[in-house]
Amino acid sequence: MKCLAWFVLGFGIRLIGLGTLPPWTDECATLAFSLGNSFLEVPLNQLIPPEQLLDPLQPTPGAGLGEVWQHLMQESTHPPLYFFLTHLWLQPVREASPEPLLWASRALSAFWGALTIPAMYGLGKRAFGSATVAHLAAALMALSPLGVFLAQEARHYTLAIFLAIASYYSFTLALETLFNPNSSAQRWLWGWTSVWILVNGLGIAVHYFFGLLPLMQGVVLGSHWLQGTVPRTARAWRGVGVAALGTAVTGLVWLPVWGGFVESDLTDWVSDGQLGVFESLGRGVLWLISMVFMAPLDVFVLPLWGLVLAAAGLLLALVALGYLLYRHRGKTRPQVRIWWQVFWVELLLLLGLTYSTGNDLTLAPRFFFPLLPVVLLLVAALLESAWLHQQKHVLSLGLILLVGSLSVVSNLSYLQNHRGDRLAGIINSTSDVPVILATTHKHHGQTGRLQAIAWELRRLNTSLPQQFLLAHPDEEHYPTDVLREELSTLSPPFDVWYINFHAPQVSDQQIPNWTRIPIPREQFPAVNGYRYDLVQYR
């Protein structure tokens, strides 16, 4: 019953404010591709109305799984399983307006996120043989700020985490049969081997980074084989070998697909900046902390004193957790040692990929999803003794976790998503004449940024006439020239909002007959995900 209570609590938190924000770029991709739509049909280098910009987020009659596969493979770098599931999940509400479609697609992620709670209970019980560890692990997952954050997005990470927990469960059974030949798991060796292969294959079909997880498991088990801590003739090694081979096959079948997007523009953002050793390490530490603790830290809306108080509270929570773990350090179960190995190998694989390839995987917390179950399981195991002797202290930490989760659902914590709602509000309250929203276009990421603004302007029921421009540079088009040509077909007054426009603005000399009034950027608040300027024409 306690596990059910954690599930209800976690699911309830994940449903709070689920439809509050417009879809950000990645969610636009999830919705469009899951509906069987393409971003390539949105016109470039010409002014378009909001209805045409938002068309990929509308259901297309007759679009099926074939269209989902076709457009996903042509325009994205993600495997298809989650998009197939979302397509089927949305079938009952396909005729609804876009807002219910977005809510439903986020609800699917929240549902998988809630299922990770009882899954963590099962993993904790199997890995440590302790109901206390199991309940603590389920509670930590229910309240995990990162777990809640990922569950509120229409993305595939919660399903990947659920499958990761299932893979860790099979990994635990392998350890059990290797270290204890008399274990009950020995009798169904080929059963858990088959499940292990299945969940690893499904995980890779949800997110390619899932492949790091079986790689880590292989490194940990291989180290024990080399060290001889487990008899090399143990029968269970056969199951491990078959699982390794089967998992490798389920990964290698995607090689032709991977080859198609090695040079994709969609992944440039992880390598565009200067990779800094300490900056990346610092971000990684922050993401690990946010798996357990978070505070309202939105620098775009909170006053300085509020940020200082929140940071101080977060620091005190870390100190309190450290104190409890240190005080009870000698009373943990022996299984903790091998889960520390799992943690360090997985973390080193993520950082190794970052520093060896120059693709900074610490830029976004979502890439740390394989580590989330491991971190929570370790914290639960380390807190077991504290719970048995100092329950009030552990409950106090639980309240801090709850505050962190609520700060997430209040959109005051993670600043990774682009807040098109905030920019739409600024545009709606500033302009009183027709508006032109222009951005330079590289791929559907920029389309999604404008779609978020158009989505929110529609929700605000604004009376502002709107037109949008995706200026895509090529041999025949330069963004500034495209915008100038489109503006020359209009008559003032109107406002031009330059949004992430990576080209020079249209100058006075290019349209000499109109009065051009640039508004100082300092008059507007900063908005995460957007760099914008306003120029008025009168």
pLDDT tens digits, 507-527: 888 887 888 999 998 899 999
pLDDT in tens, 324-344: 888 877 677 888 899 999 999
> Which whole number is the average pLDDT over 191-219?
93
Element spanning 196, H or E: helix 189-206
Look at strands 516-519 and 532-537 and give their pairing: antiparallel
Q: What percentage of the chain exceeds 90 in pLDDT?
A: 59
> Which whole number is the average pLDDT over 367-377?
96
Look at strands 466-471 and 494-499 and give their pairing: unpaired
Distance CA 197, CA 241 (A): 11
CA dihedral of residues 443, 45, 514, 538 (deg, nearest 10):
-60
pLDDT above 90: residue 424: yes
* pLDDT at res. 438: 96
| Confidence at 437, pLDDT banded by 50, 70, 90 | very high
Distance CA 351, CA 347 (A): 6
396 contacts 324 by C-beta, under 8 angstroms: no
pLDDT above 70: residue 306: yes
* pLDDT at res. 263: 61
DSSP 378-430: HHHHHHHHHHHH-HHHHHHHHHHHHHHHHHHHTT-S---S--HHHHHHHHHHH
pLDDT above 90: residue 412: no
> Which whole number is the average pLDDT over 411-439?
90
> What is the reported pTM?
0.93
* pLDDT at res. 67: 93
Residue, of 417 and 146, whose pLDDT is higher:
146
pLDDT in tens, 262-295: 566 666 666 665 666 778 888 889 999 999 999 8
Hunting for tokens 């523009």 — which residue is that? 265
* pLDDT at res. 239: 87
Taking the CB of residue 273, how many other CB atoms lie within 10 A of it?
A: 11
Element spanning 436, H or E: strand 435-440
pLDDT in tens, 74-92: 888 889 999 999 999 998 8
> Which whole number is the average pLDDT over 448-464?
93
Distance CA 296, CA 127 (A): 34
| 470 class by beta-carbon count within 10 Å (0-12 exposed, 13-18 middle, 19+ buried) | buried
* pLDDT at res. 510: 84
Collect all residues with Cβ–Cβ distance below 8 Å to 50 and sequence separation of at least 6.
454, 457, 458, 466, 468
* pLDDT at res. 182: 73
Q: What percentage of the chain exceeds 70 in pLDDT?
A: 96
Distance CA 476, CA 481 (A): 10
Average confidence score pLDDT of the chain: 89
Residue, of 97 and 431, whose pLDDT is higher:
431
pLDDT above 70: residue 416: no
Collect all residues with Cβ–Cβ distance below 8 Å to 441 and sequence separation of at least 6.
44, 447, 470, 471, 472, 473
